[in-house]
């Protein structure tokens, strides 16, 4: 019993002393920060609003799920192609940035209802019902297509040069842009592979810092300034409230963004089962008689995820899901305390109002972002492969091959042939949404008559 009493850690319903709670909460914010900020920079959403939305959505998630699931809600990379494509579409060409965000917000809010519906189905019929409609042979290739449709954006940003540059310097600047982006890319990869413990959770923060240092050196050596001029929306002073916008109804946004929610369901599901293992392992080691049946709360988790999307989307934040990075940090530190996550949510909302930090993020060179994108977008595609491997998808099945093949070609082909919107009977169907819907329907049709 003496060994059990020496185990250090906090279960979901335990609260550390205030000073420890604050430090643990700061750590959770640091872990979520790089990915959440990256989504804002890639989509064009306001950075401060995105950070604030992640905190507010987490706060709502914790209480909606009855303070039973220690999960942090952050912006999801899965939605990037849909949001980026929508923001850059011809239909929104004459819109201001806030007007574009408002249109995207409507699709984000509506995507929340997909997760809520999935949660209600799980609560009513069990997880097997979701697996029949969204098997790994559908969600895997959808995730792969999401990553691959953004490949051109990543390469274009990696070679981006400063604005208003004389033509004579264009080639030189392009070469230096490659240096900055490749150093960022390789640094991020090295950090993710070789760092240990807590630091291994921060490659998306440390890699861009190295890239920015290289950009400083390039500016000193060549005079080429790759750092971006602050946007008109940037605030001066020490503190400023985030820029909040309201959703603007748009069926185009619904068609582009809403179906992407299906790609986040397997990820969110996996997180719940991981959490169940970690928490109950700590409970056993601490000698706790309480059973934390987190795995049975998949339905309420998906409902909480959906409400998180609605909350974030309603104030001007990107769509998201619960973060694996934060679960990993909890597993390393053995701190699964719900009060810590509430503290992290509140700290994130306060940080979002700190102007110098937000302005520093805005000035990050596009080449640094491009180097990061090469890694991130490829990782999204790789995650699709991982989903199929984990579920042991039979790659020799004619049905599975048909579903995977059509999703991949419609999704990726639609992006590069038509810029993201496939012409279909007078309508422009977003390529990822079209691929996902087609794959779901094809899988259901080909499942008739087969043994389940």
Q: Is the pLDDT of residue 284 over 50?
A: yes
For residue range 136-182, what is the model confidence (pLDDT) as tens digits?
899 889 888 888 988 888 899 999 998 878 888 889 999 999 999 99
- DSSP label at 352? T
The rounded Cα 83 to chain-centroid distance in angstroms is 12
Quick check: is 2 in a domain? Answer: no
Q: Which residues pair with 379 in a beta bridge?
A: none
pLDDT of residue 139: 85
**pLDDT interval class at 3 (50, 70, 90):** very low
Residue 233 lies in a domain: yes
Distance CA 384, CA 61 (A): 26
Q: Per the domain annotation, does 293 fall within a domain?
A: yes
Q: How many domains does the chain have?
A: 1
Mean pLDDT on 351-356: 91
Residue 1 binned pLDDT confidence (cut-offs 50, 70, 90): very low
Q: Is residue 258 part of a domain?
A: yes
**What is the band of 2 on the pLDDT scale with cuts at 50, 70, 90?**
very low
Query: Coil, strand, or helix at residue 86?
Result: helix
Cα–Cα dist 124/102, whole Å: 34
Q: Which of 340, 296, 310 is nearest to 117 (CA)?
A: 310
Residue 233 reports pLDDT greater than 70: no
For residue 294, the enclosing domain spans 8-447
Q: Round to whole Å and give the CA distance between 196 and 185.
A: 19
Confidence (pTM): 0.79
3-state class of 319 per DSSP? coil
Determine the average pLDDT of the residues in 85-91: 87
Beta bridge partners of 75: 320
CA 74 – CA 285 distance, rounded (Å) = 30
| pLDDT band, residue 253 (cuts 50/70/90) | very high
Is residue 171 assigned to a domain? Answer: yes
CB atoms within 10 A of CB 19: 8
Q: Which of 260, 51, 42 has the alpha carbon at shortest distance from 156?
A: 42
Residue 50 confidence (pLDDT) above 60: yes
Of 20 and 412, which is predicted with more confidence?
412
In a domain, 395, yes or no: yes
Whole-Å CA distances, 415 to 70, 140, 257, 297, 411: 37, 18, 15, 37, 7
Residues belonging to the chain: 452
Which residue in this structure is represented by tokens 């087969």?
450
Indicate the average pLDDT of the chain.
88
**C-alpha distances in Å from residue 327, one per residue of 117, 187, 227, 250, 305:** 24, 23, 33, 35, 15
């Amino acid at each position: 019993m003496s060994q059990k009493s020496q185990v250090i850690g906090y279960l979901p319903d335990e609260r550390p002393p205030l000073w420890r709670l604050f430090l643990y909460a700061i750590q959770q914010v640091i872990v979520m920060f790089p990915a959440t900020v990256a989504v804002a920079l890639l989509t064009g959403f306001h950075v401060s609003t995105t950070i604030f939305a992640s905190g507010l959505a987490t706060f709502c998630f914790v209480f909606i799920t009855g303070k039973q699931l220690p999960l942090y809600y952050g912006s999801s990379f899965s939605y990037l192609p849909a949001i980026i494509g929508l923001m850059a579409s011809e239909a929104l060409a004459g819109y201001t940035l806030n007007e574009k965000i408002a249109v995207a917000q409507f699709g984000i809010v509506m995507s929340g209802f997909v997760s809520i519906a999935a949660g209600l189905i799980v609560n009513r019929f069990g997880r097997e019902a979701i697996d029949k409609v969204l098997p790994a042979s559908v969600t895997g290739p959808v995730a792969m297509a999401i990553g691959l449709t953004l490949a051109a954006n990543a390469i274009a940003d990696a070679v981006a040069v400063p604005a208003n540059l004389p033509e004579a310097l264009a080639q030189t600047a392009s070469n230096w842009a490659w240096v900055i982006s490749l150093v960022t890319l390789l640094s991020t990869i090295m950090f993710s592979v070789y760092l240990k413990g807590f630091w291994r959770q921060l490659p998306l923060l440390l890699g861009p810092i190295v890239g920015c240092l290289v950009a400083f050196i390039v500016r000193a050596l060549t005079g080429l300034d790759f750092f971006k001029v602050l946007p008109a929306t940037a605030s001066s002073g020490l503190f400023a409230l985030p820029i909040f916008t309201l959703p603007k109804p748009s069926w185009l946004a619904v068609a582009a963004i809403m179906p992407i929610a299906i790609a986040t369901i397997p990820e969110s599901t996996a997180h719940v089962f991981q959490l169940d293992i970690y928490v109950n392992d700590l409970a056993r080691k601490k000698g706790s008689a309480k059973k934390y049946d987190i795995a049975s709360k998949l339905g309420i988790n998906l409902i909480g995820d959906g409400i998180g999307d609605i909350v974030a989307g309603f104030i001007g934040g990107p769509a998201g899901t619960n973060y694996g990075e934060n679960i990993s940090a909890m597993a390393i530190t053995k701190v699964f305390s719900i009060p810590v996550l509430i503290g992290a949510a509140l700290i994130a909302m306060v940080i979002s109002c700190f102007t110098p930090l937000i302005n520093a993020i805005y000035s990050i060179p596009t080449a640094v972002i491009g180097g990061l994108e090469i890694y991130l977008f490829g990782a999204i595609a790789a995650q699709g492969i991982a989903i199929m491997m984990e579920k042991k998808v039979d790659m020799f099945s004619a049905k599975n091959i048909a579903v995977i093949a059509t999703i991949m070609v419609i999704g990726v082909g639609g992006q590069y042939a038509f810029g993201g919107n496939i012409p279909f009977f007078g309508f422009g169907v977003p390529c990822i949404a079209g691929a996902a819907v087609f794959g779901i329907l094809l899988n259901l049709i080909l499942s008739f008559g087969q043994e389940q």
